[in-house]
Chain A
Amino acid sequence: MSFDNAYESLLGHEDAHWAFGTGFSEALSGVNREFPTGVDRDALAAYCLMVGDDALILSQRLSEWCSRAPELEEDIALANIALDLLGQARMLLTRAGEVLGRDEDALAYLRDEREFRNVHLAEIDCGPGPGGDFATTIARLLVFSSWRLALFSCLRGSADPVLAAVAEKGLKELAYHRDHAAQWTVRLGDGTDESHRRMQAGLERVWPFVDELFARHRVEAALTGVAVDPASLRSEVDGVLDAVLSAAGLTRPADRRAARVAGMAGRDGVHTEAMGFLLAEMQHLHRSLPGAVW
């Protein structure tokens, strides 16, 4: 269907009249969704929430930069990265929802803080809020995308066909995200005194949240052949981070671990103070106007 003027196409012909509308078809229609035999479906759903929530929450954080980045190209870059992560999240939440009997929107907008399973690294404020700046955001993206790329590389061999397909597709996207973060890290670390100072400070800010990425959770332990043991990713990720920091003339921060509550962290639904504020912004519209579409 063609229109003389772009705005005409917004005036309701069919549900999916606008690419960004909420008339989304199911994120996984047509994908092989058989559950592997013998798999603990509740554990599979919990795992998809973990990997999906990491992407959803960081996507929300990265979107905060749109219109506030240091340069126009970076507005676009961070929004593009956020969009890739949102796409990964939609497929993983839909997969979890097949077991839980809820759709992706219900899982994203109607869960409370304690039901989210993302790591703390995804949720902390690394800027543009008071918790950081562009360099801090790059430090987080470097760590997160290096870790997730290593994870997806292994998940391609998952016995769950959806996890394997999401990983195969996402891997190519994550390679771009990691390169983007690595190149900025080098540019800032090897730039002026001020950019170097800020990049090092960004690393110091995010480093206490690195340890959680490699801590194996009981959900992962219950899913042999389906989930990846994150502890097995540590040496590969350390190698990548060391290569980037060395090229950038930055110092690897001392290993410090953020506090946990009775041994629990993001994977158990125990979050930092930042999470409630993030969810308030992300969920407000949907909860105030249930069923709202545009």
Chain B
Amino acid sequence: MTTALEIASAVRDPELPVLTLADLGVLREVSEEDGRVVVTITPTYSGCPAIDEMGADLRRTLISAGFSEVEVRLSLSPAWTTDWISREGRSKLAAAGIAPPARVGPSAAGPVPLNLVPPSRQVACPQCGSLNTSEISRFGSTACKALRRCHACSEPFEHVKEI
């Protein structure tokens, strides 16, 4: 029998459909007791408009798989970080032409650093692999992506920005 965890893990992200919610790291916990399932998810950004769609997709998928009672809970703490995007998720992003984020690591104590120029970050072009790329805008088509361009192949591309 397929478990609720396996079913929930296969549900795709509504805005980055190449990833599952598990790949993206927003699926935090799935517990199952007597046919009742409790799923905990966390938003990527506070205003992420996809969070309700994620909850609805999870509920719909689990109910059609035979679970009669499904509760979706939201968790805010610890806050989502791009470090939770799985290794597999990173490969899927790159294959879809979206540059995956670099590792952030635990945030250092003390004041949040101020960047007066965009941090120089080596982001490889997902098209041609060149590291000769630059940021066009830190804000892209969804809250989690920045826009970059590649100077080698001249193609623009999206980059899941580190958070």
A127 within 8 Å of B (CB atoms): no
Q: State the CA gap A23–B139 with chains docked (Å).
A: 26
Contact A153 B47 (CB under 8 A): no
Cross-chain contact of A30 among B48, B53, B74 (Cβ < 8 A): B74
B143 within 8 Å of A (CB atoms): yes
Cross-chain contact of B143 among A23, A83, A153 (Cβ < 8 A): A83
How many of chain B's residues have a CB under 8 angstroms from any CB in A? 43
B112 within 8 Å of A (CB atoms): yes
A170 within 8 Å of B (CB atoms): yes
Contact B114 A85 (CB under 8 A): no
Cβ contacts under 8 Å, A91 to chain B: 46, 76
Contact B115 A164 (CB under 8 A): no
Contact A183 B139 (CB under 8 A): no
Q: Which residue of A lies closest to B47 (CB)?
A: A87
B138 within 8 Å of A (CB atoms): yes
Cross-chain contact of A14 among B60, B75, B76, B115 (Cβ < 8 A): B60
Q: State the CA gap A18–B163 with chains docked (Å).
A: 26
Contact A87 B46 (CB under 8 A): yes
Contact B114 A29 (CB under 8 A): no
Given contacts A20-B49, A73-B147, A169-B46, contact A14 B118 (CB under 8 A): no
Contact B46 A29 (CB under 8 A): no
Q: Closest CB-CB distance, B42 to chain A, in whole Å?
A: 9
CB 8 Å contact bits of A16-35 with B (1 = contact, 0 = none): 11111101110111110000
Q: Which residue of A lies closest to B42 (CB)?
A: A169
Interface size classification for chain A:
35 or more
Cβ contacts under 8 Å, B147 to chain A: 73
Given contacts A173-B46, A179-B138, contact A153 B112 (CB under 8 A): yes
Q: State the CA gap A171–B45 with chains docked (Å).
A: 11
Given contacts A25-B72, A149-B112, contact A88 B47 (CB under 8 A): yes
A214 within 8 Å of B (CB atoms): no
CB 8 Å contact bits of B128-163 with A (1 = contact, 0 = none): 000000001111110100010000000000000101
Q: Which residue of B lies closest to A30 (CB)?
A: B73
Contact A171 B139 (CB under 8 A): no
A81 within 8 Å of B (CB atoms): yes
Given contacts A73-B136, A76-B140, contact A16 B53 (CB under 8 A): yes
CB 8 Å contact bits of A244-276 with B (1 = contact, 0 = none): 100100000000000000000000000000000
Contact A80 B139 (CB under 8 A): yes
Q: State the CA gap A182–B118 with chains docked (Å).
A: 10
Contact B111 A28 (CB under 8 A): no
Cross-chain contact of B139 among A30, A81, A165 (Cβ < 8 A): A81
Contact A83 B114 (CB under 8 A): no
Contact B114 A169 (CB under 8 A): no
B35 within 8 Å of A (CB atoms): no
Contacting residues of chain B (105-138) with chain A, CB-CB under 8 angstroms: 111-112, 114-118, 136-138
Q: Which residue of B lies closest to A82 (CB)?
A: B47
Cβ contacts under 8 Å, A17 to chain B: 56
Could you list some 24 contacts between A and B, CB below 8 A? A1-B60, A19-B14, A30-B40, A30-B73, A73-B136, A76-B137, A77-B137, A77-B138, A81-B139, A84-B143, A165-B79, A166-B76, A169-B43, A169-B77, A173-B46, A175-B112, A176-B161, A178-B114, A183-B117, A186-B117, A240-B114, A243-B114, A244-B116, A247-B116
B contact residues vs A (CB 8 Å cutoff): 14-15, 40, 43, 45-50, 52-53, 55-57, 60, 72-81, 111-112, 114-118, 136-141, 143, 147, 161, 163
